[in-house]
Chain A
Amino acid sequence: MKRFAGLATALLLACNAQAADQLKIGFLSTLSGPAGGIGVEIRDGFNLALKLAGGKLGGMPTEVVIADDTLNPDTGRQLAERMLRRDRVNLMTGIVFSNVMLAVWPTLQQAKVFYVAPNATPTAITGKGCSPYFFSASWPNEAHHEAAGEFANSKGFKNAFLIAPNYPAGKDALTGFKRMYKGAIVSETYSKLNQLDYSAELAQMRAAHPDAVYAFLPGGMGINFIKQFVAAGLSKDTQLIVPGFASDQDVVRAVGDPMLGLFDTSQWAYDLDNDANRRFVNEFEKEYRRIPTLYAEQGYTAALIIDQAVRDAKGKVEDEKAFHAALMKAPERAKTPRGKWKEAANGTPIQDYYVRALVKDRQGRIVNRKIATILHDHRDYWAKDCPMK
C-alpha cells in the first residue's frame, strides 16, 4: 500500500511538472438543447483559431477541455468546479448565456482564474461588480441594442414599437435601445418567454402603424417572430430592426427569403475589409462549409486574444499581474477579424458597431452585408460604476 502511495505521488508530481509548459483551457458552453447551435458556433470558431495556430496558443501546447452546461446554471457551476479542481485548467472561456455566466462567476472569481468571454458579458460583472479576472472579447450586453437605437435615429424613424421577452435580458435590451433612441416609443411590449404565436402582438403593431419595430427575441422566438411578421405583410411599410444575434446565418438558414430587407447591428460583419477577416471567413467556410456567424467570430477572436496574451506574458499564466497586463493589451496587438480595439478597465471592448443589411450576394446566398458604422469606439455604459480605472 505504501509503495502504491509512493507511485501515486510520483505520478502526481510528473503531472504537475507537465502542466507548467502546457496551456489547459476550460471551454464551458451550451452545446445541446434548443440553443445548442450558438455554443457550437463559438466552439467551431475557437477550434479553428487553435488549428490555424498549429494547436499551440501563445506558442504553448494547448489542451481544450470541453463541457456542455445544457443551459442549466447549476450544471454550469458544477462543471466549472470540476474543470478547476480535477482538470486544473489555467483559463476559462465559452459561456453563451448570461444566467449561466452569473451562476459560474463566483466560483471562477474565488479560484482566481481568468475568464475570457466569447459571448455573454452581463452588466453585473462589468459595472459595480467588475473584476480583473473577467475579460470580454465580445461586447457589453447592451451594446447591440444601443447601436440599434442610434440606427433608428439615423434613419429618421419618428416612432418605434419595441418587443422583447419578459425576462431580465429582455428588459436590459430595451433599456439599451431607449438609451440611444430619440423618437417616440409607441409601445413597449414584453411577450412570454418561449412564446410561439405572435399574432396578437402583430395585430397591435398593425394598428399602431409605427415607422420601425425593434425586436429582441433571441433563438427560436426570433425565428417565429420574423416568419410571422413577414407573413402578416407588416414588412411592407414597417422597418424591422433586430440585434445581430437574432438574424445571423443560423437564423437565415432557418427562415430563408423572409429575412431579406431586415437591418441588424453587430460588432462584426463577414465582409469587413481587412486581411485577418478575409482569412477567418475563408478558412471557416473551407473547414465547416458554411458562412460564419458573429458567434463564430467571437469564439475565434477569444482564441486569438488568449494566444496574444499568453505569448506576451511569455507563457506565465500563473503570474496574475503580468498576465492581466498582457490580456488588457492583447486587443491592441492581436490581428482579429474585427481589427484592433482598446479594452476598457472594466474588461469590455471599446469598439465600433455596424449596421448590416440582409441581402443576396452574387451566388444568391442571403448574407449580412455591412452598410455603415453606426457607433465609433463605443464604451460600455456601466463602466462608470466600475471602481477599477
Chain B
Amino acid sequence: MSATLFLEQGLNGLQFGLMLFLLAAGLTLVFGIMDMINLAHGSLYMVGAYLMASFVQATGSFWLALPLALAATGVVGALLELTLLRRLYARDHLTQVLATFAIILIANEAVRLVWGSQPILLNAPPSLTGPVTLPGGMQYASYRLLIIGVGVAVAVLLYFLVAKTRVGMLVRAGASNREMARAMGVDIGRLFTGVFALGAALCALAGAMLGPILAVQVGMGENILILAFVVIVIGGIGSIRGALVGSLLVGIVDTGGRAFLPLLFGTFLPPQMASAAGPAIASVLIYLLMAVVLYFRPQGLFPARG
C-alpha cells in the first residue's frame, strides 16, 4: 500500500462524509427542532436533483440553475410544511412516520408523471468533468474537490447561523425547549416553516451537488436517507456539530472499510475467505459504529437536548 493510495482513500472518506453531511444537516435540524421524523427528507432531495436537472436544461448553465433549484425546492418544502406536516407535530412518531412515508410514495409517482420513469441527465459543469493533479502527483476528480469545498462552506455557514445569529438563537431555543420558547413569545409556527424551508433548500443543494456523480432517478432519496439517519443518530439528534462529526465518521469508516478491510483480512486469512469476509464486514461497519456509539452514548455524540 503506497502513501498516495492511503492519502487518496482518506480524501475519499472525507468527501463521502461531506456528501452525507449536506443531507444530514437539514434532517437533523428538522428532527431536532421540530421533534418530527421526516422520512420525506429524501423525497425533497430527489425533487431538488430533478429541479436542478431541469433548470440546467433550461438555462444551459450549472451555476445559474443552482440558486433556482435551491429556491424552488425551498418553496416546495415550505408549502409541504404549511399544508401537511404542520398537522403532524402534535401526533406521535408512528403517525409521522406513516404520513411521511406516504409522501415518499406520492413524491416518487409524481416525479415519474412529470419526468418519466427513466433516470435523467445531470452532469457536472464542463470545466469540472475531469481529474486534476494534486501536489504530490495524486490524480483526483475535480468535481469531488468541489463537493468537499461546498460541504465545508455549508458547515461553516450553518455553524455561524446557529451559533452567532438571532435566528440561530431562536432555533436553539426551539430545539432545547419548545414550550419555554413559545412562552417567551417566539412565533414557533413561522420559525418551523422557515427551518423546514431551509432544510429543503439544503436537500436541493445535496441533490444538485451529488446529481453529477450519482444517478438522478425515481427513488434516489431512499438509499441515501438511511445513511443520513445513521449519521444524525450517531451525531446526536438536532446538533449541526453532531451531524458534521457523524457524517465524517460514517464517511471515513465506510470508505476505509471498503478500501482496507479486504487487504487487512488478506494478511491473516486464506484469499478465498478474505475476499468473502472483507466486503461483508465492510458493508455492516457503519451500523457496527452506530451500535457502539449508542452503547456508550445513547443520546449520540453531541446531543442538542440536555
Contacts and interface: CB of A to CB of B under 8 A. Distances in A.
A220 B217 CA distance: 7
B258 A201 contact: yes
Nearest to A34: B219
Point out which of B112, B213, B223, B224 has the most chain A C-beta atoms below 10 A from its C-beta: B213
Interface string A171-207: 0000000000000000011111010110111011011
Interface residues of B, number: 50
B119 A223 contact: yes
B123 A257 contact: yes
Contacts of B2: 207
Given A166-B279, A256-B121, A194 B139 contact: no
A230 interface: yes
A201 B116 CA distance: 31
Contact of A36 (B117, B131, B144): B117
Interface string A247-285: 000110111111000000000000000000000000000
Contact of B216 (A32, A166, A188, A254): A254
Contacts of B282: 192
Contact of B16 (A37, A197, A206, A207): A197
A206 B123 CA distance: 23
A223 B122 CA distance: 11
Interface in A203-246: 203-204, 206-207, 219-221, 223-224, 227-228, 230-233
A89 interface: no
A197 B220 CA distance: 13
Contacts of B30: none
Contacts of B121: 253-256
Given A253-B118, A258-B123, 12 more contacts: A32-B109, A37-B119, A166-B283, A191-B258, A192-B258, A192-B282, A199-B12, A231-B141, A231-B143, A232-B131, A254-B120, A256-B123
A231 B118 contact: no
A141 B109 CA distance: 30
Interface string B123-151: 11000011100000001111110000000
A192 B283 contact: yes
Nearest to B129: A231
A233 B139 contact: yes
B280 interface: yes
Given A32-B112, A207-B2, A227 B212 contact: yes
B5 interface: yes
Nearest to A36: B117
23 contacts: A34-B217, A34-B219, A166-B279, A197-B15, A197-B19, A199-B12, A203-B5, A203-B9, A204-B259, A207-B5, A219-B215, A224-B214, A227-B123, A228-B141, A231-B130, A231-B144, A232-B141, A233-B131, A253-B119, A254-B119, A256-B121, A256-B123, A258-B129
Interface string B190-227: 00000000000000000000001111111110011001
A209 B2 CA distance: 14
Contacts of A190: 275, 279
Point out which of B8, B227, B259, B262 has the most chain A C-beta atoms below 10 A from its C-beta: B8
B306 to A, nearest CB: 35
A40 B117 contact: yes
Contacts of B140: 232
A33 interface: yes
Contacts of A201: 258
Interface string B176-200: 0000000000000000000000000
A32 B214 contact: no
Interface residues of A, number: 42
Contacts of A199: 12, 15-16, 144, 255
A34 B144 contact: no
Contacts of B116: 37
A227 B123 CA distance: 9
B108 interface: yes
B213 A231 contact: yes
Nearest to B119: A254
A196 B224 contact: yes
Contacts of B223: 194, 196
Across the A-B interface, the 3 shortest Cβ-Cβ residue pairs = A233-B131, A254-B119, A223-B215
B123 A220 contact: no
A221 B282 CA distance: 18
Interface in B219-254: 219-220, 223-224, 227
B117 A32 contact: yes
Contact of A232 (B5, B139, B262): B139
A197 B139 contact: no
A188 B9 contact: no
Contacts of A219: 215
Contact of B118 (A204, A233, A250): A250
A192 B213 CA distance: 17
Contacts of A191: 258, 279
Contacts of A250: 118-119
Interface in B70-123: 108-109, 112, 116-121, 123
B145 to A, nearest CB: 11
A231 B125 CA distance: 12
A196 B226 CA distance: 12
Contact of B129 (A200, A206, A207, A230): A230
A206 B6 CA distance: 12
A194 B256 CA distance: 18
A189 B279 contact: yes
Interface string A350-379: 000000000000000000000000000000
Nearest to B8: A203
Contacts of B275: 188, 190
Interface in A97-144: none
B13 to A, nearest CB: 8
Contact of A253 (B108, B120, B214): B120
Nearest to A31: B117
A247 to B, nearest CB: 13
A191 B254 CA distance: 12
Contacts of A40: 117-118
Interface in B251-300: 255-256, 258-259, 262, 275, 279-280, 282-283
